[in-house]
């Protein structure tokens, strides 16, 4: 267990804590949940940074990092539905895209096709996280309308989610057409 994998595992353990805080909704619990989510986002950046800097990339890390990200984002999105902070159809589209791309990655891996991540996927993740923090907070604080900010950013996140998903399938089909049968 290296520092990168430890940070990834810590992110996984933050998910049920955030979920429990959202189950018992209140202003203070929402702010704490958003703060923990913010720490989780930072650990996502740091685990990649440390893995590259100290050459600690591992098969375990390659498995756990994207799993932790999907677990974190997916769980929070689902938890926000009954709190009426995000429409269920938006959550369904985001989760369906993640499942479809994960499935496509499995097919690509079997065919030894590598589809590099691009900037659209980075924007997708950044806007999803940017949307989730104010959606988790939700309550107005000092005149700041967190729900309104979250609603704004979730539309941008949805746009990049769809764009990156379509782009991933296009890149797969291009790479598949070039690969020997």
Q: Which CATH number fits the domain that encloses residue 78? A: 1.20.120.1760
Q: Which of 10-14, 44-48, 89-93 has the lowest mean pLDDT?
A: 44-48
Average pLDDT, the chain: 94
Cβ neighbors of 68 (< 8 A, separation 6 or more) are 8, 9, 11, 12, 44
pLDDT over threshold 80, residue 181: no
What is the predicted pLDDT for the residue at 62? Answer: 83
- The pLDDT value recorded for residue 117 is 75
Residue 98 has pLDDT above 90, yes or no: yes
- What is the radius of gyration, based on Cα positions, of the chain? 17
| Tens-place pLDDT, residues 100-159 | 999 999 999 899 988 877 899 999 999 999 999 999 999 999 999 999 999 999 999 999
Enclosing domain of residue 61: 3-178
Residue 179: pLDDT over 80: no
Task: Give the highest mean pLDDT range of 44-48, 61-65, 81-85.
Answer: 81-85
How many domains, the chain?
Answer: 1
pTM of the model: 0.91
> Quick one: which H or E segment has residue 42?
helix 27-53
Distance CA 113, CA 120 (A): 20
**Environment class of 175 (CB within 10 Å of its CB; exposed 0-12, middle 13-18, buried 19+):** middle
Residue of higher predicted confidence among 178 and 46: 46
């Amino acid at each position: 267990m290296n520092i990168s994998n430890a940070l990834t595992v810590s992110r996984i353990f933050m998910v049920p804590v955030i979920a429990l805080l959202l189950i018992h909704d209140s202003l203070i619990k929402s702010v704490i949940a958003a703060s923990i989510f913010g720490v989780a986002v930072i650990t996502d950046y740091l685990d990649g940074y440390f893995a590259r800097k100290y050459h600690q990339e591992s098969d375990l890390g390659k498995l756990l990092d994207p799993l932790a990200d999907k677990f974190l984002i997916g769980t929070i999105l689902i938890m926000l539905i009954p709190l009426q902070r995000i429409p269920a159809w938006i959550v369904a589209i985001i989760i369906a895209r993640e499942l479809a791309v994960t499935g496509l990655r499995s097919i690509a891996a079997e065919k030894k096709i590598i589809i590099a991540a691009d900037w659209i996927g980075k924007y997708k993740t950044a806007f999803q996280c940017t949307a989730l923090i104010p959606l988790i907070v939700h309550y107005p604080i000092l005149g700041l309308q967190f729900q309104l900010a979250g609603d704004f950013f979730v539309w941008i996140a949805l746009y990049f989610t769809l764009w990156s998903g379509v782009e991933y399938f296009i890149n797969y089909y291009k790479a598949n057409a070039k690969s020997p049968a």
